Amino acid sequence: MTAPSDRAPTATLFNYSYSVKQPDKPTSIPPAIRKIVIVGGGSAGWMTAMILANALIRHGIEISVLESPMVGIIGVGEGSTPWLRGFFDSLGIEESEWMPECNATYKCGITFDEWSTKPGFESYFHPFASMLDNLTMTQFVHNSQARVNGADVCAHPNRFFIASYLAHNNLAPKPERTFPFDVWYGYHFDSVLLGQYLHKKALQRGVKYTKCHVTGVQLNERGEIASVSIQDGEPVTADIFVDCTGFAGILIQKALGTPFVSFSNNLFNDAAIAMPTPIGDDIPSQTISTALKHGWRWKIPLTSRYGNGYVYSSAFCSADDAEHELREGLGALDSDTPARHLKMKIGRVTKHWNKNCLAVGLAQGFIEPLEATALLFIQRTATTFVEFLEAGDLSEAAHERFNQRVNDHFEGTRDYIVTHYKTNTRRDTEYWRANAANTNLSDSLRQLYGLWMSGKGIAADVGRQAIGKGYPVFSWYCIMSGMGIFPDPKDLRPAAPPDNRYSMEEIDNLLQRSTLNFRSQRDVLMNIPQKVQERSLQIYFW
Ligand SMILES: Cc1cc2nc3c(=O)[nH]c(=O)nc-3n(C[C@H](O)[C@H](O)[C@H](O)COP(=O)(O)OP(=O)(O)OC[C@H]3O[C@@H](n4cnc5c(N)ncnc54)[C@H](O)[C@@H]3O)c2cc1C
């Protein structure tokens, strides 16, 4: 096999390193910023509090959280991307500490079942990458290109990635120390417990907390937020306010009137039902997303139970019918376990940082949870804000650059999620037919589909466009190949050199042998290893 450095062209898509040490870098935080008030104590409020506290309390800035005793948190959201590992690493919090407290498990990626009806592509796995993938990525991209250009070679993503082998064998993505490759992974967790855990840690790290209901917002003559009034107390002032009030968006949307861009013309789902079921001895290391009649169902393994839910479009299905279909699929028609019904507002605000208000979490926007990206938006928004604050530039131009960055991330992610629906081949309900027929696509997405179908390759385009700000090239190859977006099998020519230059047997052997370095998820969770410090993960995808 070819080593990554022998390939041409080669580009690093992820270059991720982590360290528990906080480098003491010089900052130019404007002296006028002395107090930041976060309104809302859901995952967004507490993650933001931790990120701000970590960077700013040592500079004498006060961080406070106000949380209503009357409005609960949304209390769903149990899957993450690998970036959550960076969140805990940057805070110096060990998995052995937080994971048991949150009933957390390791996640290698997501299996998509029954989204495509194409023979051989009824199921595919979207993996989180690992360093080992440097050895198989070229082969995967080569085969995908060869197949889209008409050669009958294997291009199913499940066959090329170690994460897929781990997930299908319920193995945790934590290799033995002797295994020379790091593996990227995400987590599943109980979102209520995660909120409680972060709340506790934030208080330990100096964040102030007041349980109070915000009843009003006062603006100054420049249209900035001067204070928020609370029930049974004096108005609360701050230099910066962070809106973490969930879908209500009390500060950013209601008080400042920041426009909201709905994504409902290309993401139809606007409702969800959540319901737990028991888990057995095996604890899987993947989320399963199964397409249903009017949406999809998630199945997320925690140490204590499965979290399940049905994300659907209320324009195509009633809440009762959706609950019936979910219960039927779970074998829980006679179960007394209540199901929670939720509404979702899909889209984003135009400005996530508007005047002296930053919006984080559902208040800034939400893309449905198909790829579990919401906590990543929270993390990125808060860390990028710290970056801007540390650079000392709070000018209008800085606001614009910041908002552009966050908006690009939203749009790129939206387009990736839309692709699951647009490329579906189910024709069993009006919902799936409408999704396939939907022509409300961004220009970047149209261009990407055109390039794919032309067989010219999409890597350079993904790198250039905002689309690449959501998902890296290999994820785009995974979804297009995994959904079977190839010529009809009867039109494929028999594989011959150079199309079949890579041996699938060799790849299978490499990945099979590699799994011997991993143990079952249950075993690993019983004794979570300490982190290997100061390691760097470099992934080459092209
Ligand atoms: C069906 C579904 C599935 C999801 N799955 C995932 C997933 O797998 N992965 C993922 O990353 N994300 C997922 N999410 C998103 C995730 O749940 C949220 O992004 C995350 O929980 C953050 O929510 P939040 O803190 O913004 O809002 P909330 O949890 O709604 O918190 C809002 C906070 O604001 C406070 N508040 C509201 N009004 C006031 C007031 N007047 N005064 C004071 N305080 C107030 C409330 O008390 C509460 O503390 C999912 C969402 C849905 C709907």
Distance 354 CA to ligand 1 centre (A): 20
Which atom from ligand 1 is nearest to the alpha carbon of 215? 41
234-265 pLDDT tens trace: 999 999 999 999 999 999 999 999 999 999 99
Q: Are the C-beta atoms of residues 268 and 104 closer than 8 Å to each other?
A: no
Kindly list the distances between the CA atom of residue 198 and the CA atoms of 47, 54, 93, in Å, as whole numbers in the listed order.
7, 13, 11
Question: What single-letter DSSP state applies at residue 532?
Answer: P
Per-residue pLDDT band at 22 (split at 50, 70, 90): low
* Ligand 1 atom index nearest CA of 287: 8
| Ligand 1 centre distance from Cα of residue 3 (Å) | 44
The first and second tokens of residue 122, run together, are 């009824």
Is pLDDT above 60 for 28? yes
CA 542–ligand 1 middle distance (angstroms)? 37
pLDDT for residue 533: 46
Using the mean position of ligand 1's atoms as its centre, give its distance from the Cα of residue 325 in Å: 25
Which pLDDT band holds residue 129 (cuts at 50, 70, 90)? confident
Residue 3 has pLDDT above 90, yes or no: no
Among residues 79, 39, 35, the alpha carbon closest in space to that of 61 is found at 35
Q: In b/e form, how buried is each residue of 61-96, taking b as 16+ CB within 10 angstroms?
A: bbbbbbbbeeeebbebbbbbbbbbbbbbbbbebebe
Q: What are residue 152's DSSP bridge partners? A: 494
DSSP state of 27: -
Of all protein residues, the one whose alpha carbon is nearest to atom 27 of ligand 1 is 246
d(CA 454, CA 348): 33
Determine the Cα–Cα distance for residues 83 and 90; give it in Å rounded to an integer.
11
- 10-24, 73-87, 88-102: segment of lowest average pLDDT: 10-24
Q: Whose CA is nearest to atom 50 of ligand 1?
A: 77
* Ligand 1 centroid – CA 226 distance (Å): 25
DSSP 384-425: HHHHHHHHT--SHHHHHHHHHHHHHHHHHHHHHHHHHHHT--
CA-proximal residue: ligand 1, atom 19 (nearest): 374
For residue 71, give the ligand 1 atom closest to its CA.
47
Of the chain, the percentage scoring pLDDT greater than 70 comes to 93
Quickly state the pLDDT bin for 130 (edges 50, 70, 90): confident
Surface-to-core class of residue 118, CB atoms within 10 Å of its CB (0-12 exposed, 13-18 middle, 19+ buried): middle
The active-site residue, picked from 35, 107, 208, 254, is 107
For residue 498, say if its preceding peptide bond is cis, omega within 30 degrees of 0.
yes
Which ligand 1 atom minimizes the distance to the CA of 373? Answer: 11
- Give the integer Cα–Cα distance in Å for 489 and 190: 43
Residue scoring higher pLDDT (166 or 13): 166
Single-letter amino acid, residue 57: I
Interatomic CA distance for residues 155 and 492, integer angstroms: 13
Ligand 1 atom closest to Cα of residue 361: 26
Whether 490 sits among the annotated catalytic residues: the reply is no
Nearest alpha carbon to residue 349 among 217, 252, 479, 222? 252
Angle at CA of residue 408, ends 406 and 411, nearest 5°: 110
189: tokens are: 């967790």
Minimum-distance ligand 1 atom for the alpha carbon of 246: 27
CA 277 to chain centre: 23
Residue 463 is predicted with a pLDDT of 80
Q: Ligand 1: residues within 6 Å at CB?
A: 39-45, 66-68, 71, 73-74, 76-80, 191, 213-214, 244-246, 248, 250, 272, 309, 311, 342, 344, 361-363, 369, 372, 374-375
Average pLDDT over residues 292-304: 98
Q: What's the mean per-residue pLDDT of the chain?
A: 92
Q: What percent of the chain has pLDDT over 90?
A: 86
What residue owns the CA closest to ligand 1's atom 35?
Answer: 40
477 with 140: CB under 8 angstroms?
A: yes
Higher pLDDT, 349 or 539: 349
What are the pLDDT digits (tens) for 145-162?
999 999 999 999 999 999
Q: How crowded is the C-beta side of 454, counted as CA atoms within 13 Å?
A: 9
Distance (Å, whole) CA 173 – CA 517? 10
User: Would you say 89 and 531 are in contact if contact means Cβ atoms under 8 Å apart?
Assistant: yes
Alpha-carbon distance 203 to 39, whole Å?
15
How many angstroms separate the CA atoms of 474 and 210, rounded? 45
Q: Across residues 452-457, what is the average pLDDT?
A: 93
Indicate if the pLDDT at residue 438 is higher than 60.
Answer: yes
Q: How far is the CA of 218 from the centre of ligand 1 (A)?
A: 24
Find where tokens 């609960």 sit. 72
Distance separating alpha carbons of residues 333 and 335, to the nearest angstrom: 6
Q: DSSP E strands: which ranges in 8-55? A: 12-17, 35-39
Burial class (CB in 10 A: 0-12, 13-18, 19+), 260: middle
| Interval between CA 483 and ligand 1 midpoint (Å) | 31
Cis peptide before 30 (omega within 30 of 0): no
Task: Assign 24 a pLDDT band (cuts: 50, 70, 90).
Answer: low
**Total residues belonging to the chain:** 542
In a mutational test of the pocket of ligand 1, which residue from 47, 64, 76, 342 has the highest number of ligand atoms less than 8 Å from its CB?
76
For atom 33 of ligand 1, the residue with the nearest CA is 40
Distance CA(197)–CA(450), nearest Å, equals: 46
pLDDT digits (tens, 9 = 90+) for 462-507: 888 777 788 989 999 999 999 999 999 999 999 999 999 999 999 9
Q: Is the pLDDT of residue 7 over 70?
A: no
Q: State the Cα–Cα distance between residues 187 and 172, nearest whole angstrom.
A: 11
Q: How far apart are CA 377 and CA 349, in angstroms?
A: 13
Question: Nearest residue CA, atom 17 of ligand 1?
Answer: 77
